[in-house]
Amino acid sequence: MELISFLCGLSVMVLELAGMRIITPFLSSNFIVWTSVIGIIMVSLSFGYYFGGKLSDKNPTANRLSLIIFIAGLYILVIAVFQFQFLKFITETIDINIYYLSIIVAIVMFTIPSFLLGIVSPYLIKYVIIDRSIPENKIGSTVGKFYAISTIGSITGTFLCGFILIIFLGIETIFYGLSFILFLCAFICIVKKKYKLKKSLLLIYTSFILISLFFIIYYKKNPAQIIQNSIYSTNSPYQYLSVVEEKTNEGQIIRFLKTNNKKGAYSSKELNLEPKIYNNHYHKIFLDFYILKELKQNILILGNAGGIFLNSVLSDINKNTKQSVESTKFEKFKNIHIDVVEIDKYTTQIAKKYFNLQKSNQVTFFHQDARYFINKKSKLNSNKYNLVYYDIFLDSPICPYYLITREAIEKYKKIMSDDGIFIMNIIGSPSGIFNDYMRQVYTQFNKSFEVVNILDFKEIYKLNNKNAISNYVLVAYKNPNSIESVKIRKYFEKFIYKDIIVTNEVLTDNYAPIEKYLFW
């Protein structure tokens, strides 16, 4: 029975963590979704504990305990089979606020198994006390022992799922594994007491153990395709990653790097185009800044994804370094160094394999969180950056909050050279919630930099709807009055979005509720 307590505790935490990864490609991995999943599971467990205590007072038996565990495993098996179909259906057919949608999804997927696993602990403890004839003076230590074992199981499940299972197994395989564990627990319950053995239950449990084992083996070799037209997909420690290949009406092949089932993509590339030709116009704008900037010995790229922009810069460097050794131009490009911060090493591997990211001795990769990187870098006084490019998003089209707070922005400023320029890809619109969001980001930079511009390229995008959500570019100049900065500002003058309004709200590391600008 100790083993059952351990495995059920493990299952609860794996259900919570792996469940969040199921939802991520469809609802994203924002704080609202996490709150919904954790909240619903905790509420369900609470009701389960209460009902389990009541139920255990009515002659607890091993057969009844096994049925409770079996039904929990059966529901998780159903989740494993229908998870993607359900999530695709509900996200495509129900258009409601993310708060309500995430709660509905969490209720449907996690309420029943969490409730049933909540019943197990008090029921199991009461059964053990009766079955083993635990004396009254030992009941407290017995209860404490089983809660400790269950908690150790939860701790094991947390680290096992976070560090190993999600990386090396597909999400569907993890859920089939959970159902297998619970079916096994149900089996153990009934074989524990041979004189009360029910052959019908034994046959049912054995059948479902074999069914779940078959699915584990099958889906380990044939992982489910969450996103259509995927040619490669994997689960990294941070996200679900998928390379999608599509063919246009003109016969062109386009590859997308995606993390979710929505229309947007982290990166896109037409395979037959040169590195300096783009699917996304903001990459062209980024390259314009790079070309116009004369002093660019040190460049920082925050967020690399498929490496589309990095490839274009390397292409330009390679072209120029092919000049004669005597050329001053050669020396200027030879001395350029690029630091690339990309949190996920799996993304870099995909960029090299599927998006033809070039190798270069002039590039150093840092696979770590951008805030962690700038925190460390801001403590140093050497190798300041002439250009900082920011292109980091969550699964939703917003920046991680801790990268746009006043503290973070001051650190960006500190790691920049005196003539440094900060360039940021940002999603916005002339009105509505994305305009509110864009104004908040602009406000934070405006409080630290003397000159900040939002560049609007709707004419380049040729958008019919002028209020459409699209990519804007935020530019912050550390020294806006330098000769070079004045020249660059003049070049982009006609694209400056003049209707942006500074707000009074300050986002800090302690207070940065950016979700409210998008979801309320």
Report the pLDDT averaged over residues 332-342.
87
Tally Cβ neighbours within 10 Å of residue 490: 9
Integer Cα distance of 241 and 64 in angstroms? 42
Contact at 8 Å (CB) between 392 and 302?
Answer: yes
Find the DSSP H helices in 97-138. 98-131
Report the pLDDT averaged over residues 365-373.
92
Asked, for residue 374, whether it belongs to a domain, the answer is yes
What are the DSSP E strand ranges found in 174-266?
230-235, 240-247, 253-258
| pLDDT given at position 410 | 93
Q: Are residues 395 and 496 in the same domain?
A: yes
Q: Counting beta carbons within 10 angstroms of the beta carbon of residue 361, is it exposed (0 to 12), middle (13 to 18) or buried (19 or more)? A: exposed
In angstroms, what CA-CA distances link 137 with 129, 130, 353? 11, 14, 65
Asked, for residue 247, whether it belongs to a domain, the answer is no
- pLDDT bracket for residue 386 (50, 70, 90): very high
Tokens of 123: 């029921």
Average pLDDT over the chain reads 83
Structure confidence by residue, pLDDT tens digits, 404-440: 899 999 999 999 998 999 999 988 888 888 888 888 8
- pLDDT bracket for residue 225 (50, 70, 90): low
Contact at 8 Å (CB) between 266 and 257?
Answer: yes
| pLDDT given at position 114 | 93
User: Using the 8-state DSSP alphabet, how is residue 496 labeled?
Assistant: B
Of 94-103, 226-235, 490-499, which has the strongest mean pLDDT? 490-499
Residue 278 pLDDT > 60, yes or no? no
User: Using the 8-state DSSP alphabet, how is residue 50 labeled?
Assistant: H
Q: Are residues 217 and 280 in the same domain?
A: no
Which structural domain range is residue 492 located in?
274-519
Residue that terminates a domain, selected from 206, 221, 236: 221
Task: Report the candidate in 74, 66, 200, 56 with the shortest Cα–Cα distance to residue 127.
Answer: 56
Indicate the residue type of 206.
T
Buried b vs exposed e over 214-238: b needs ≥16 C-beta within 10 Å? ebbeebeeebeebbeebeebbbbeb
Report the pLDDT averaged over residues 452-456.
90
- Cα distance between the two ends of the chain: 47
Residue 169 pLDDT > 80, yes or no? no
| pLDDT given at position 422 | 95
| pLDDT given at position 171 | 76
- pLDDT bracket for residue 330 (50, 70, 90): low
Q: Are residues 57 and 145 in the same domain?
A: yes
Residue 269 pLDDT > 60, yes or no? yes
Q: Are residues 204 and 310 in the same domain?
A: no
Return the percentage of the chain with pLDDT > 90, whole number. Answer: 21
| pLDDT given at position 156 | 92
Integer Cα distance of 399 and 402 in angstroms? 8
Contact at 8 Å (CB) between 220 and 173?
Answer: yes
Q: Are residues 201 and 306 in the same domain?
A: no
| pLDDT given at position 195 | 47
Q: Are residues 284 and 161 in the same domain?
A: no
Asked, for residue 454, whether it belongs to a domain, the answer is yes
Q: Are residues 36 and 175 in the same domain?
A: yes
Residue 12 pLDDT > 80, yes or no? yes
Residue 203 pLDDT > 90, yes or no? no
| pLDDT given at position 211 | 86
Q: Are residues 332 and 480 in the same domain?
A: yes
Report how many domains make up the chain. Answer: 2
Q: Strand, coil or helix: what is 189?
A: helix
CATH code (residue 90): 1.20.1250
Residue 499 pLDDT > 90, yes or no? no
Angle value at C-alpha 63, between 58 and 66, nearest 5 degrees: 105
Q: Strand, coil or helix: what is 177?
A: helix
Asked, for residue 408, whether it belongs to a domain, the answer is yes
Residue that terminates a domain, selected from 201, 221, 241: 221
Give the length of the chain.
520
Structure confidence by residue, pLDDT tens digits, 24-43: 777 776 677 888 899 999 99
- pLDDT bracket for residue 328 (50, 70, 90): low
Between residues 315 and 95, the one the model is more confident about: 315
What are the DSSP E strand ranges found in 97-239?
230-235
Residue that terminates a domain, selected from 186, 221, 256: 221
Q: Are residues 372 and 492 in the same domain?
A: yes
Q: Are residues 205 and 282 in the same domain?
A: no
Residue 496, phi then psi, degrees to nearest 5: -65, 130
CATH code (residue 511): 3.40.50.150
Asked, for residue 134, whether it belongs to a domain, the answer is yes
Buried b vs exposed e over 293-311: b needs ≥16 C-beta within 10 Å? beebebbbbbbbbbbbbbb
Task: Report the candidate in 483, 485, 397 with the shortest Cα–Cα distance to residue 449.
Answer: 485
Structure confidence by residue, pLDDT tens digits, 114-150: 999 999 988 888 888 887 778 888 888 888 888 898 8
Q: Are residues 491 and 376 in the same domain?
A: yes
Report the pLDDT averaged over residues 368-393.
89
Q: Are residues 115 and 39 in the same domain?
A: yes
Structure confidence by residue, pLDDT tens digits, 180-199: 999 888 888 877 665 455 67
Integer Cα distance of 201 and 198 in angstroms? 6
| pLDDT given at position 338 | 92
